[in-house]
Amino acid sequence: MNKYKLRAAPTAISKKLNSQKEPKAKRIVIGIDVHLESYQAARKIDNAAVGVVQSFKSEEAVLLYLQNQREQAEEVVVVYEAGPLGFTLYRQLKASGIECLVCALRARSRKGSGARITLSMRGA
């Protein structure tokens, strides 16, 4: 005698439940290098290594990328250096609910008011 197992066809509710997955990561940290004409972003997921740098041509593209990252993790943290664009990116990220940290410009040693600043390794 053959034994058969009956399986119910998937319903709309079960398909909806399967599509609502939990976030894959706890925290994604994204470092952004901000320039006047381009943006580069590198991300680190949880305790993994830093991923490949991605380039963006506009601020809107970066914001869209960051919104997509929010769907992949419970927490997204963005870090960038305050440069020529100031705090505009910070304000936009805070308004959209993304935690953002802004670093000060690279600290340079102050040996005196007229001291020459050397940026190359050979001159240091």
CA dist 123 → 54, 118, 119 (Å): 32, 6, 7
C-alpha distance from residue 73 to each of 7, 12, 34, 64 (Å) = 34, 26, 23, 15
* pLDDT score of 123 more than 90: no
Mapping DSSP to helix (H, G, I), strand (E, B) and coil, where does residue 62 land?
Answer: helix
Structure tokens at 37: 């004409």
- Looking at the whole model, is its pTM more than 0.75? no
Domain membership flag for residue 55: yes
Task: Assign residue 55 the CATH number of its domain.
Answer: 3.30.420.40
**In the chain, alpha helices (H):** 12-19, 59-70, 88-95
Asked if residue 12 is part of any domain, the answer here is: no
Domain membership of residue 77 (yes or no) is yes
Give the residue-averaged pLDDT of 95-112. Answer: 75
CA distances from 108 to 57, 112, 117, 124 (A): 30, 11, 8, 12
User: CA–CA separation, 94 vs 89, rounded Å?
Assistant: 9
- Is 42 contained in some domain? yes
Could you tell me how many helices (H) and strands (E) the chain has, helices first?
Answer: 3, 5
Ramachandran sector of residue 21 (left: φ over 0; alpha: ψ -120 to 50; beta: rest): beta
Examine residue 109 and state whether it is found in any structural domain, yes or no: no
Residue 48 structural domain: 23-103
Phi, psi for 53 (deg, rounded to 5) = -75, 135
Q: How many domains does the chain have?
A: 1
Tokens of 61: 């593209």
Q: What is the pLDDT of residues 1-41, one digit of tens each?
A: 677 676 666 655 455 555 556 557 899 999 999 888 889 99
- 18 lies in a domain? no
